[in-house]
Amino acid sequence: MRSRLSALQPSSSSSSVATARNLRSIATPADPMDETASLMLRRGMPPLENLIPGHEVTLRWTETDPSHPALDVLVRTVALTDDAQEAGDLTPFLMHPGSAGTWTWTSTLPSDLRTAYQLCPVRDFSLRGSNPEGDQWLRVLAAGVPDPNSPAHLPPGTVWGNPGPASILELPAALPQPWVAKRPGVRRGSLTRVELGASVIHVWTPDTDRPPTDLPLVISFDGASWLRADISTTFANLVADHAVPPFVAVLIESINGSAERGPERIRSLTHPDQFVAFVLGDLLPYLRTAHPATDDPTRTVLAGQSLGGLAAAHVAAVAPDQVGWVIGQSAALWWPGDDVGGISGAAVIAAYEAPIARSTKFFLTKFFLEAGSEEGDLLKANHRFHDVLQTAGHAVSFREYCGGHDYTCWQGGLADGIIAALHQPV
């Protein structure tokens, strides 16, 4: 499967860059570009040279430590640069030095790209003619900072390899994300932290005029990352726009005390004695008694990203009478498993290969799946899962977005998945 990386071409163009001020000047009622320019400004995009498909994007950075100047500056995009490092050539992502400590990078990017990115000044070694690996690559990633010229940021802790915030590059043809930003006047709902034994969840309930009852239920793994990304704003906007009916949302922060990252997280999302036992034995019974959440599986949605997507698919396979909808975002269906009781991607896919018997069609799980164009084997595994689900008789939608393993993409995809699961036609 061809990566969209091949669409990226370094540019030596010296033409002038369209600044935010320039974009405002062309956003006139008589100009056919005005809507695009206005949209770009609202999204806080970096300067663009063109407003047509196949965009030249120019980024700039100025030295912040003249006493220890950078030898190179890497443009680290989650969608593209990480793949280039694995392929052994970071050259297309190195900024070019100028005078007075300025650095510039101009490249042509796919017009539908959305990605988190950081600028990584490398001060103790050069990246030219070499490809950092292991600890050296981690040092490069850790040096990343947001683009000072772009106000659109992901919060700290949502980009692999770097604990800080990241900027967002969002080109005009990227999938729309109309529910992500805060809006004045939207009722925010309430978010409550709950401890269930050693596990921690956060329950979002909408602010409605009437006492809620029997509401649809949306549950997602990796809740700590979603909390940082302020996903409850998306929930509130969906309800305010009547895109979906009011619903209860649950963000799972920790299962049996598991850490947010590392081996504990992996075990909590790949060993059924952890995540299946928690969701079916603890979480659902609690929610259906302590909150106005439905017990109808057709209105019970389990969402997950990466390993969380793998876990969600497994839960639905073993308990379709409890979970009737799965939102899988970049589900780690490539996961090889382990020899101590963990699931594998191949085993999860195989669990859905048998055609659905007529007697079990009442518990027919439905799926919303998405994965990024730059996700390699993960993308291939998701295509295979989609084909298996279709053949077996499950209702499934799958889309491939231009991007990578990235909350910048997933935050819009989660909203679209919730709409797919809960939308009620008028």
DSSP string, 151-190: --EEPTT-BTTB-S-EEEEE-TTSPP-TTSS--TT----E
Is the domain of 146 the same as that of 261?
no
Q: Is residue 382 part of a domain?
A: yes
Greater confidence (20 vs 165) lies with 165
In whole angstroms, give the CA distance from residue 12 to residue 30.
Answer: 32
Average pLDDT over residues 185-189: 95
Q: Is residue 184 assigned to a domain?
A: no
**Residue 5's pLDDT band (boundaries 50, 70, 90)?**
very low
Same domain, 280 and 323: yes
In angstroms, the CA 310 to CA 337 distance is 11
* Distance (Å) of CA 60 to CA 38, 79, 206, 254, 408: 22, 19, 42, 39, 21
What is the total count of domains within the chain? 2
Q: What is the pLDDT of residues 144-177, one digit of tens each?
A: 999 999 988 999 988 999 999 999 999 999 999 9
Domain boundary among 104, 139, 170: 170
pLDDT at 6: 42
Q: What distance in Å separates the CA atoms of residue 175 and residue 211, rounded to the nearest whole number?
A: 35
Say if residue 330 is in the same domain as residue 409. Answer: yes
Q: Is 178 among the domain residues?
A: no
Q: What whole-number distance in Å separates Cα of residue 269 and Cα of residue 307?
A: 6
73: nearest Cα among 118, 43, 26, 40: 118
pLDDT in tens, 265-323: 999 999 999 999 999 999 999 999 999 999 999 999 999 999 999 999 999 999 999 99
β-partners of residue 18 are: 48
Residue-range definition of the domain harbouring residue 269: 190-422
Q: What is the pLDDT of residue 358?
A: 54
Mean pLDDT across the chain: 87
Considering the domain architecture, whether residues 76 and 195 belong to the same structural domain is answered as: no
| pLDDT at site 339 | 82
Q: Which of 56-60, 246-250, 259-263, 362-366 has the lowest mean pLDDT?
A: 362-366
Position 122 scores a pLDDT of 97
Nearest to 331 by CA among 280, 367, 361, 277: 367
Q: For the CA atoms of 153, 154, 159, 165, what is the dihedral angle to 10 degrees?
A: 60
**What tens digit of pLDDT does each residue of 315-358 get?**
999 999 999 999 999 999 999 998 888 999 999 999 999 877 55
- The answer to whether residue 185 sits within a structural domain is no
For residue 233, give the amino acid letter: T
* Domain shared by 50 and 194, yes or no: no
Let me know if residue 71 belongs to a domain: yes
pLDDT over 70, % of the chain: 85
| SS percent in the chain: helix, strand, coil, step 5 | 35, 25, 45
Q: Is the confidence at residue 47, as pLDDT, over 80?
A: no
- Is 55 a member of any domain? yes
Whether 341 and 385 map to the same domain: the answer is: yes
Non-local (6+) Cβ contacts of 208 within 8 A are: 246
Give the pLDDT of residue 55. Answer: 87
Residue 53: pLDDT band by 50, 70, 90 thresholds? Answer: low
Separation of alpha carbons 209 and 187, rounded Å: 11
Both 271 and 241 in one domain: the answer is yes
At 360 the pLDDT is: 56
Asked whether the predicted pLDDT for residue 51 surpasses 60, the reply is: no
Q: Tell me what the mean pLDDT of segment 383-398 comes to.
A: 96
CATH number for the domain including 417?
3.40.50.1820
Please state the pTM of the whole predicted model. Answer: 0.86
231 and 332, same domain (yes or no): yes
Higher local confidence (pLDDT), 18 or 380: 380
Question: Does residue 86 lie within any of the structural domains?
Answer: yes
Per the domain annotation, does 376 fall within a domain?
Answer: yes
Bigger pLDDT: 337 vs 3 = 337
Q: What single-letter amino acid sits at 227?
A: L
Q: How far is it, in rounded angstroms, from Cα 187 to Cα 242?
A: 13
Write down the pLDDT at residue 425. 62
18 & 77 share domain: yes
CATH code assigned at 76: 2.60.40.10
69, 160: one domain: yes
For residue 46, the Cα-to-chain-centroid distance in whole angstroms is: 20
Let me know whether 138 and 270 are in one domain.
no
Query: pLDDT digit string (tens) for 87-128?
Result: 999 999 999 999 999 999 999 999 999 999 999 999 999 999
| 204 lies in the same domain as 350 | yes
